[in-house]
Each structure stands twice: as C-alpha cells, then as structure tokens.
Structure 1
C-alpha cells in the first residue's frame, strides 16, 4: 500500500503564559523523519524578505515512492519538499514578525519539530547633529539624534582620532516598536572632525561635523 503525503504550511499566533508563540506547521502522513532547523537565531531586516530554514532528513526525495501530492495554498510544492526543504519565506518583514517559530512534522504515530528564533532589525535614519552654542567654559555643545531603529542601537561620539567621547546626557524613546536615541557632548577642540555614529549589529550610520573655531 502506498503512503499518502499531504503537507501544508500554516502560520498562526497563540497566547500562552503571556508570551506570544508563532508556529509553522507541516502536517504529514509519512515514514519517520528528522526535522532540522538552524542552531542560531535568524536575523531579518525590516522591509526585506527572510527565509526561516527548516529541513527534513533524510530528504523526502529518498521516499519518492510514498509521495502523492504536496500543496501550499493550492500551489504544488513537489520539488522543494522532495529535496527536504520545508523552509518558510517571510515577505517584507515587520518588527512584529520577531519571535519564536516552530516547524513540525507529524503523522498518525510520529512527531518531530524544531524551533526557529527570529530576530528583526530595523535600520533607522542617519544621525542628525545640531549645534547648541557655547557653554560657560567655552565648550561647543553638540546634540546628535537618530530615530527609527529596532532594537535599541548604540550611539557614540568620536573625535578626529576616532577616540570615543563621553556623552554628557543620553535620551532613549520608544514609539511604535521603533527607538530614537539622542546624546549630547561638549567639545573643546579646534579644527576637529567630530563623528556621531549609530550602530546596530553590523549596521552603521554616521554623520560628521567639522569644528573650525578656537574655544
């Protein structure tokens, strides 16, 4: 008797212990297989597409005699699943897509799953430097602000020697799942290049101001 394999992707959210969990399900009736996912989190950039890896070992191709039909939203998926690829593509990722996903395969008498941890990053706007005049000691007060980031980025001031300058005041605000940061520094150097740099993992935006007066 030939086994029947009918697989489908189903994405839903459920509240459990006050923590949202997202699941990707692939329901099947087939022989015992292993479901394998990534060991590390999947980092996705907001606005771009992301692939959530999930594979079946051994490949379903090795069990092709038991394969009858595979569908996802009425589209046949013979080739990818025969290669053992059960990955999910998230199109135009949003910050709200961040979370824990589960890819599982089940039959009448067998079940296996793997978890995929998705971290979403949103790159904000280039930092803006504003001059707030001189303080009582002759130092030039500078503000640097950048918004639209997720999660919270790191903002730092650097002088022309790329040496970090200590911020005197720092502000962080969160609005609609995005962070804005603002730092203030006072400089006393003349003819100097002052950099404001905002970093988030391997993303970085930077703005430069050149001071030309003697304080």
Structure 2
C-alpha cells in the first residue's frame, strides 16, 4: 500500500447544530477518521458564511492568526496536545451573538485534504421577566403587564393560568435593539384569588415568574387606598447542558383600607 493511501482520512464534525450561550465558551468539534496525529498537518477554521474569512489557522506546528477576523482575536484556541490524537476541535471563548454562523474545519496533509462544516446557533438569555400592575378596567379586571429584555433570538412570551392553560395576551410588543430583543405582553385578570405565570422561552432556555393574586376589599366612607407589598423567592434550576429554567414567585396583596393621607376619592 502506498504512503498516499495510508494518509487518507475523513474529517468529521458535529452530527447536529452546536448551540452556544452568549458569554460562555463553546467547543466546535472537528477530528479525523481513522484516528491519526494531525500535528504535522495544516488545520484551518473559516467562516464559510463570510466568504471563507479566517477564524483560526494552525500550520507548520504553530498558530498563525495574522489574518484572523478581528472579532475573534484572543478568543480561539486549538489544544495542541489533542492534535496528536487527531482532534482539531476549536475552543471559542466568550461567545457573541455575531459568532452565529457556519464554520468550516479544513485539514490538509502533504498528500491529502478534507473538510467538514459545523453550524453554530447562539442564544442570549435576557433579564428575568417582571410583572407590573397597569391599572383596572371598568369591569374591575386587573391589568397585568409582563416584560423582559436582552434576548436572542426573539423569544416567546406567554401567560398561563394556575392550571397551566395558555392565556391570550391583549397587547403584545416586540422591539429589537442591535442584536437583542425585548418583549412585553399584557393580560386582564378577574379571578380574585388565583395564580398566573409569565414565561419567556427560547429553544433551550426558559425564565418564568409566578404571581399570586389575592384581592380583599374593605370600604370605609367610600374612601379607598391601594398598597402592594411584594415578596420574592428565587432560585435557578438547571436541567440539560444548555437548558436552564429560572422561576421565582411574587405575591401581590391588594388591600383597600382607610388611610386618608394616601387615599383618593
């Protein structure tokens, strides 16, 4: 068998799309089959969706990133010890939304070359949703507004009742600033003792707030006042590697009492 045949290999990457979280690190897989050292080979990572722009280059036993895309400077790394085992995976630090795209891993020996592509999707978690009271309507219904910002891509915001049934939002707003989205939805509730959930979701992440609504009326000489103490208990719940759920509960106690100095007719 000739040396040419012995050096034949296949470059393999990720079987599925790689999901990354903005601000965290991610590994873009790339290796050769059958396993062999690629220390003496050329390993080139490019953004194929950006006309082959250079992300990282290893050649002649060194990293050579003079022509690297500016936004990747100082954020890419090949583990040189792993090159001996045929692993040319790229570590990308402090992921940015702009890193989303299609990457090509190209490996070339003296007599053979092959490449593979890795699709990267980026998710940016926004702020925990906030519920505010937006007044009452003529029938006594309470307007509850939920909003959250700083997401990518555009998230889904939904209201649910205590049984987990989705509620229709009366008003919805979505705004995009640079590469992040903010969402705001409003509902009107009439239950005097119930729980409502506001949930913001992406593909692999979800933030949720639960509000307990209890309304008691005390009427004194037709004068009323509204006080709203808020209690919050929060915690993070991690499910899968890229799945996180954030839940916290808020109890709104609406108490109408006789406090002339704060009241209105």
Q: Tell me the TM-score normalised to structure 2 length.
A: 0.63
Asked if the contact 1:42–1:116 (Cα under 8 Å) also holds between the matched residues in 2, the reply is yes
Is 2:58 the counterpart of 1:72?
no
Provide the secondary structure at the position in 2 that maps to 1:60.
coil
Stretches (4+) displaced over 6 A: none
User: Greater Rg, structure 1 or structure 2?
Assistant: 2
1:149-175: CA deviation from partner (whole Å, max 9, x where unpaired): 111111111111221111111111111
**Of 14, 20, 39, which aligns to 1:44?**
20
Aligned Cα RMSD in Å? Answer: 2.6
**Counterpart in the other structure of 1:98:** 100
**Of 25, 33, 50, which aligns to 1:57?**
33
| Mapping 1:118-129, distance limit 5 Å | 118-129=120-131
How many angstroms apart in 2 are the aligned matches of 1:76 and 1:141?
54
1:124-162: CA deviation from partner (whole Å, max 9, x where unpaired): 100011111111222111111000111111111111122
Work out which structure has the larger RCO, using CA pairs closer than 8 Å and 6 or more positions apart in sequence. 1
**Shift in CA distance, 158/71, structure 1 to aligned 2, threshold 3 Å:** same
Is 2:34 the counterpart of 1:32?
no
Q: Which runs of 5+ in 2 are unaligned?
A: 42-59, 66-76, 218-265
**Shift in CA distance, 70/59, structure 1 to aligned 2, threshold 3 Å:** farther
**Counterpart in the other structure of 1:7:** none
Alpha-carbon offset, residue 81 of structure 1: 1.1
Q: Tell me the TM-score normalised to structure 1 length.
A: 0.77
| Mapping 1:1-215, distance limit 5 Å | 31-61=7-37, 70-72=61-63, 79-107=81-109, 109-213=111-215
